[in-house]
C-alpha cells in the first residue's frame, strides 16, 4: 500500500478527513433546513419509538405504525351481488322506439351520446357487422332463460301480413307493381321516359340483352385515388358536411356512397344539402326540391354570388347553431363536398364575400383540399369534385352533369340527342332563334350556318357547334331542369303563408281579409293587387335568356300557346326578363 493511501486511511480513522473548508459556507447555498429534513427530524423526535412494557410488548405504538384492526361490519344488502343498473325489456323497447323516432327526424340532433348506452339502444338492429341476424337468435339473446327454454318457454308465432296463399300472391303482385312504378319514375327523372317500355313490362333490367360499350378515359375523371383521398381527409377533419347539389339535377349530383359512408361509419357528423344554382330554375321547382330533400337531410336553397346572393344568411345562421351545439370545442370545421362544377368554391367565396378560393366554369379547378377561416369559431374546408362510380350512368349523363371538360371530348355531336331530350324544343328555338330542324345533325348544321361557323369548302363545323351547345347547356344559357317527384296527396297543397315558394310571402291579400278591412284600405289593397297581377303576368312569360326585343308575331303567339299547355312552366329565369317586365309595366301604366 502506498504512503498516500495509508495517510488518507489514518485521517479517516481519526475523523480528520476534512479538507479544512467544510465549515465555510458557499455563496448561494441554503443555510437552513429544508422541509423534508424537518419532517424527518420530527418523525424521529415525537413518537419515533414505540413504548414497551416489562415483558417487551408494545403498549403504545410508534407514530404511523398502528396495526390495530378497526371494528367494522359490511351492511348485508343483495345489491352487492346484482347489476348496478337494471332495465326491463319493455322499458328498453319503449326507449328504443322513442330514439328511433327522433333519429328519423333530420332536423333533430342527438347530443352527448357518450352519456347514453348507445350500444344497448342499437342492439335491436337486424344487422351486426354487416350480417343479418335471425329473429329467433335475437329473441334468445334478449329473453330470460326460463322464457326461452324449459316447460314454461314462450314462443311467439311468426308474424305474417297475409292469411292465405291467395293473399300472398296478391301481395307479391302489388310489390311488383310498386317496383315497376319506381323504375318508371327513375326513367322519368333521368329524361328517358318511355325509352324501353318492353324491358319495364317484363321486369328485366335495361342492360339485359345489350352489349356494354367502351367508355372513353375522359369519362373516368373525378374517380382517381388521389381525389378520393382528398375527400376522405375532408370528411375526417369536418364536424359539419355541406353536400352541394345542382338545383337543375339534384338527384344526378348526389353522392349516395358518401351519404352511406357517413350514415354507417360517422353518424356523429352532420350532413346538410345545399341546393346551389337556384337562379337557373323556377322558384316553385326549387321549393319543391327543398321540400323533397328535407325529408332525408336539412336542405337549404342557395345562389352563390358575391354581390347578389340568396340563402347566405340562413346558411351562416345554421353554422352558428352547430357551433353552439359543440360549445365544448374551440372551433368547428365545415367541409364542402359534391360533384365537380356544382359551385363548392363559389359558396365559400359567397360566405366570405370576397374571392378566397379559385373558381372557374370548368370542372377540376380545385386540385387539393384547403382550409379557409369563415369566423373565429367556424372554418371551411374546400374539396375537389368527386364522381362516385355508378354502372347505370351513361357517358351522356356524365357529360351533361358538367363532370368532363367539353374540349376534351371526341365526337361531341353524338351527345346532342340526349341534350335535346332534356330541353323543350321551343326553349331551344328561343335561345338560338332557329326552328324547323329534323334531327340533331340538321340542328347543328342550321346553327353553324346561322353563326357563320364553316369549314373549308363551305361545310358546317358540326364538332365546334356541338361543343358550343353543350357548353351553353352546362353554364345555364339554355333553360332546363329536372322536376321534383310528386308524392301522393301532395298535389294542390301549398305551404300556409308562403304559397310554396322559398320564403316569399304572398303579395295578394285574400278576399276574406279584405272584407274585414275599411273600404279605403281595401280599395288601395285591391289596386296594389291588380298591379301585382299585371306584373306577375308579365313576369310569367319567358322570352329566353338572350331575347333582345319583345317582338310580337304570329309565330310568337303560337309559341305562347305552347307555353300555356306546357306542364312545367318556367318563370323569372334571368335579370333580362325582369328588366323587360319592368319596361312593359311602365308602358302599361303610361
Kind of pairing, strands 270-276 and 299-301? parallel
How high is the pLDDT of residue 291?
Answer: 92
CA neighbours closer than 13 Å in the CB half-sphere of residue 252: 26
| Core vs surface per residue 527-544: b (16+ CB within 10 A) or e | eebeeeeebeebbbbbbb
Query: Taking a C-beta distance cutoff of 8 angstroms, is the pair 482, 293 a contact?
Result: no
| Core vs surface per residue 453-492: b (16+ CB within 10 A) or e | beeeeeebbbbbbbbbbbbebbebbbbbbbebeeeeeeee
All residues at 6 or more sequence positions from 433 whose CB lies less than 8 Å from its CB, including other chains: 450
How high is the pLDDT of residue 26?
Answer: 60
Query: Taking a C-beta distance cutoff of 8 angstroms, is the pair 428, 450 a contact?
Result: no
Unique residue bearing C-alpha cell 327526424? 105
Give yes or no for residue 388 having a pLDDT over 90: no
Query: Taking a C-beta distance cutoff of 8 angstroms, is the pair 200, 180 a contact?
Result: yes
Nearest to 121 by CA among 145, 148, 101: 101
Nearest to 364 by CA among 339, 388, 389: 339
For 453-482, write each residue's pLDDT tens digit: 888 888 888 889 999 999 898 888 899 888
Nearest to 343 by CA among 250, 442, 457: 250
Q: What is d(CA 21, CA 397) in angstroms, rounded to the nearest whole number?
A: 96
Q: What is d(CA 278, CA 347) in angstroms, rounded to the nearest whole number?
A: 13
Give yes or no for residue 99 having a pLDDT over 70: yes
Give yes or no for residue 589 having a pLDDT over 50: no
Unique residue bearing C-alpha cell 374546400? 382
Residue 55 sits at φ, ψ, to 5 deg, of -80, -5
Unique residue bearing C-alpha cell 322519368? 188
- 3-state class (DSSP) for residue 337: strand
Query: Taking a C-beta distance cutoff of 8 angstroms, is the pair 372, 379 a contact?
Result: yes
**Span 134-148, mean pLDDT?**
72
Nearest to 256 by CA among 298, 301, 297, 302: 297
In this structure, of 105-114, 165-174, 555-564, the range with the lowest mean pLDDT score is: 555-564
400 or 153, greater pLDDT: 400
**Span 227-256, mean pLDDT?**
91
Give yes or no for residue 511 having a pLDDT over 60: no
C-alpha cell at 404: 368532363
Q: What is d(CA 340, CA 278) in angstroms, rounded to the nearest whole number?
A: 17
**Span 90-100, mean pLDDT?**
83
C-alpha cell at 540: 310569367
Unique residue bearing C-alpha cell 324491358? 199
For 197-227, write each residue's pLDDT tens digit: 444 344 444 444 444 445 676 677 767 888 8
Which of 198-207, 494-503, 533-542: highest mean pLDDT?
A: 494-503
If you average pLDDT over every residue of the chain, what do you get?
74
Tell which phi-psi region holds residue 481, choosing left (phi > 0), alpha (psi between -120 and 50) or beta.
beta
Long-range pairs for 462-465: beta carbons < 8 A, 24 or more residues apart: 462/413, 463/411, 463/412, 463/413
Q: pTM for this one?
A: 0.59
**Span 391-413, mean pLDDT?**
83
How high is the pLDDT of residue 158?
Answer: 65
What percent of the chain shows pLDDT beyond 90? 17
**Span 267-285, mean pLDDT?**
91
All residues at 6 or more sequence positions from 284 whose CB lies less than 8 Å from its CB, including other chains: 500, 501, 571
How high is the pLDDT of residue 283?
Answer: 92
Query: Taking a C-beta distance cutoff of 8 angstroms, is the pair 252, 422 a contact?
Result: no
How high is the pLDDT of residue 29?
Answer: 58
How high is the pLDDT of residue 69?
Answer: 77
How high is the pLDDT of residue 81?
Answer: 80
> Kind and range of the H or E element at 270?
strand 270-276
Which of 193-202, 448-457, 499-508: highest mean pLDDT?
A: 448-457
In this structure, of 23-37, 79-93, 559-573, the range with the lowest mean pLDDT score is: 559-573
For 104-139, write each residue's pLDDT tens digit: 788 887 777 777 777 777 665 555 555 556 666 666
Give yes or no for residue 434 having a pLDDT over 80: yes
**Span 58-81, mean pLDDT?**
80
In this structure, of 6-15, 156-165, 243-252, 551-560, the range with the lowest mean pLDDT score is: 551-560
Amino acid at each position: 500500500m502506498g504512503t498516500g493511501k495509508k495517510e488518507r486511511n489514518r485521517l479517516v480513522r481519526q475523523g480528520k478527513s476534512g479538507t479544512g473548508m467544510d465549515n465555510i459556507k458557499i455563496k448561494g447555498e441554503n443555510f437552513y433546513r429544508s422541509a423534508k429534513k424537518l419532517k424527518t427530524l420530527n418523525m424521529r423526535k415525537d413518537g419515533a419509538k414505540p413504548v414497551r412494557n416489562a415483558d417487551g410488548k408494545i403498549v403504545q405504538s410508534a407514530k404511523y405504525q398502528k396495526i390495530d384492526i378497526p371494528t367494522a361490519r359490511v351492511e348485508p344488502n343483495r345489491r352487492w351481488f346484482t347489476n348496478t343498473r337494471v332495465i326491463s325489456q319493455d322499458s328498453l323497447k319503449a326507449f328504443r322506439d322513442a330514439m328511433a323516432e327522433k333519429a328519423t327526424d333530420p332536423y333533430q340532433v342527438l347530443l352527448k351520446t357518450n352519456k347514453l348506452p348507445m350500444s344497448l339502444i342499437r342492439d335491436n338492429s337486424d344487422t351486426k357487422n354487416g350480417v343479418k341476424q335471425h329473429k329467433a337468435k335475437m329473441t334468445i339473446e334478449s329473453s330470460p332463460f326460463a322464457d326461452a327454454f324449459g316447460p314454461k318457454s314462450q314462443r311467439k308465432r311468426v308474424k305474417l301480413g297475409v292469411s292465405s296463399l291467395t293473399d300472398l300472391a296478391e301481395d307479391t303482385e302489388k310489390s311488383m307493381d310498386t317496383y315497376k312504378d319506381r323504375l318508371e319514375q327513375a326513367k322519368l327523372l333521368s329524361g328517358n321516359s318511355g325509352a324501353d317500355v318492353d324491358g319495364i313490362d317484363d321486369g328485366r333490367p335495361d342492360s339485359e340483352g345489350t352489349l356494354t360499350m367502351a367508355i372513353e378515359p375522359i369519362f373516368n375523371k373525378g374517380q382517381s385515388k388521389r381525389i378520393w383521398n382528398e375527400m376522405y381527409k375532408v370528411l375526417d377533419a369536418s364536424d359539419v358536411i355541406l353536400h352541394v347539389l345542382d338545383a337543375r339535377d339534384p338527384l344526378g349530383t348526389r353522392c349516395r356512397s358518401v351519404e352511406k359512408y357517413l350514415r354507417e361509419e360517422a353518424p356523429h357528423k352532420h350532413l346538410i344539402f345545399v341546393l346551389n344554382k337556384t337562379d337557373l330554375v323556377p322558384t316553385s321547382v326549387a321549393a319543391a326540391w327543398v321540400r323533397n330533400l328535407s325529408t332525408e337531410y336539412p336542405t337549404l336553397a342557395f345562389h352563390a354570388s358575391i354581390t347578389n346572393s340568396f340563402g347566405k344568411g340562413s346558411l351562416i345562421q345554421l353554422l352558428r347553431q352547430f357551433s353552439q351545439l359543440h360549445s365544448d370545442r374551440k372551433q368547428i370545421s365545415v367541409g364542402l363536398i359534391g360533384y365537380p362544377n356544382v359551385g363548392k368554391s363559389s359558396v365559400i367565396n359567397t360566405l366570405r364575400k370576397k374571392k378566397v378560393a379559385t373558381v372557374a366554369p370548368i370542372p377540376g379547378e380545385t386540385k387539393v383540399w384547403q382550409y379557409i377561416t369563415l369566423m373565429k369559431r367556424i372554418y371551411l374546408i374546400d374539396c375537389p369534385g368527386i364522381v362516385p362510380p355508378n354502372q347505370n350512368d351513361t357517358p351522356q349523363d356524365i357529360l351533361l352533369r358538367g363532370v368532363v371538360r367539353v374540349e376534351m371530348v371526341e365526337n361531341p355531336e353524338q351527345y346532342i340527342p340526349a341534350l335535346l331530350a332534356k330541353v323543350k324544343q321551343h326553349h331551344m328555338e328561343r335561345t338560338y332563334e332557329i326552328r324547323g330542324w329534323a334531327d340533331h345533325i340538321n340542328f347543328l348544321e342550321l346553327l353553324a350556318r346561322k353563326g357563320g361557323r364553316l369549314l373549308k369548302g363551305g361545310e358546317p363545323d358540326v364538332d365546334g357547334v356541338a361543343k358550343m351547345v353543350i357548353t351553353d347547356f352546362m353554364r345555364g344559357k339554355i333553360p332546363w331542369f329536372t322536376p321534383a317527384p310528386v308524392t301522393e296527396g301532395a298535389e294542390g297543397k301549398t305551404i300556409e303563408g308562403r304559397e310554396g315558394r322559398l320564403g316569399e310571402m304572398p303579395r295578394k291579400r285574400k278576399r276574406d281579409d279584405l272584407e274585414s278591412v275599411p273600404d279605403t284600405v281595401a280599395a288601395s289593397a285591391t289596386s296594389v293587387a291588380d298591379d301585382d297581377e299585371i306584373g306577375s303576368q308579365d313576369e310569367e312569360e319567358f322570352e329566353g335568356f338572350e331575347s333582345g326585343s319583345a317582338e310580337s308575331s304570329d309565330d310568337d303567339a303560337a309559341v305562347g300557346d305552347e307555353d300555356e299547355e306546357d306542364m312545367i312552366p318556367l318563370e323569372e329565369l334571368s335579370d333580362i326578363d325582369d328588366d323587360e317586365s319592368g319596361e312593359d309595366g311602365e308602358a302599361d301604366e303610361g
